[in-house]
Amino acid sequence: MDRCSKEVCQHIDFPGNPDLAGIGVLVSFGFQLALASTFGIFAVYHLIVARNSKSDWKDFRGVFHTFFFSSVYFNVALAVAAVVSIALDDKTQYTALVANLDLLLSLSSTQALWPLYVLYEAGRPQDDIPGSTFRLLLLKTCLGLLGATLLSTCAATIVVHWGSNFELFCFHDLPARSVVSGLLYAPIGITALGLGTAALRQVYPPKWPLAGIITPEKSDKSMLWRWVHLGMVFLGLATMWVAFGVLWMLRTEMSGLTGESYQENEWGFGQIVAVVAWLPTAVDIVWEMVKLVRQ
């Protein structure tokens, strides 16, 4: 029976969704993960060794600013793709799972870099930057909406059991499918952590009620915030790499199951756009390297 089922699955034409899990998307995520991990290590250094110091790091600041905002824009594109794929597409479970997995991967990397962005803003003369407060508020609102979008689409994917014939007889039994489904519960905890942190900071400014307990010699809120930011960095990086590994696992199992009909290794318009999204960051990196060589 298992042999017959496998043969049937290999003869069902299921192209997948290359614009959500294609080779170009993997290349784009690879670039994002590499830079996010590098800046994440830099954030840990600043939080532990430099102790939130506002020391100058101008060699990285321009690249980080471009990369961070490119990540935010990329998250917006993935959020739109997730909503559209669930609401307007063929509503297959595979498409919904992959769309949410992509958004979780990208959004977690942005979350990991938020503490470094806070340091970035703290090290700039805000009085000389018109509209900086408004932009920061707009950025927080955007990230909050992205978190809410991820939470709602994950809930829809988990609760609603869509299924084409391929998914009912083939995709449902893949180990990676159950792993992805379980991983989508992660945004619930991440979103709750972010909302709780934001709420506490608004309710207890400028000092936290636990600051004197955790650091009896200092009641300064910066000591507690350092640990909160470290937790955000480690949680974001861990979620990011786990999501990437699960996406790779899912693509590998799907390729072995469907054979030649699976088109995830073919390039398409959406995949090219995903790679081009990081072009400004790549240009900034090259320019910074050129300036360092000239010095």
Q: Average per-residue pLDDT in the chain?
A: 74
Lowest mean pLDDT among 83-92, 195-204, 221-230, 232-241: 195-204
pLDDT at 197: 65
Please answer whether residues 72 and 246 qualify as being in contact, where contact means their C-beta atoms are separated by less than 8 angstroms.
no
Percentage of the chain modeled with pLDDT above 90: 3
Q: Once rounded to an integer, what is the mean pLDDT over residues 235-259?
A: 86
pLDDT at 212: 37
- H helix runs in 160-220, sequence order: 165-169, 175-183, 186-203, 211-214
C-alpha span between 36 and 23 (Å, rounded): 20
pLDDT digits (tens, 9 = 90+) for 21-75: 888 888 889 999 999 999 998 888 877 776 655 555 666 777 888 888 888 888 8
pLDDT of residue 33: 93
Q: Cα angle vertex 258, ends 160, 12, to 5°?
A: 75
By mean pLDDT, which of 15-24, 32-41, 100-109, 122-131 is the weakest? 122-131
pLDDT band at 221 (very low <50, low <70, confident <90, very high): low
**pLDDT above 50: residue 215:** no
In this prediction, residue 217 carries a pLDDT of 43
The residue that leads in pLDDT, 115 or 185, is 115
The larger pLDDT score, comparing residue 111 to residue 228, is at 111
pLDDT tens track for 134-172: 677 777 778 777 877 887 787 777 666 666 667 777 777
| 134, HSE (Cβ side, Cα atoms, 13 Å) | 3
Whether 34 and 267 have beta carbons less than 8 Å apart is answered as no
Q: Quick check: pTM over 0.75?
A: yes
pLDDT the model gives residue 100: 85
3-state helix/strand/coil string of 49-63: CCCCCCCCCHHHHHH
The single residue listed with the structure tokens 């997995």 is: 101
123 pLDDT band, cuts 50/70/90, is low
Confidence class of residue 208 from pLDDT cuts 50, 70 and 90?
Answer: very low
Band of pLDDT at residue 127, cut at 50, 70 and 90:
very low
**What average pLDDT does range 115-126 have in this prediction?**
69
pLDDT(213) > 50: no
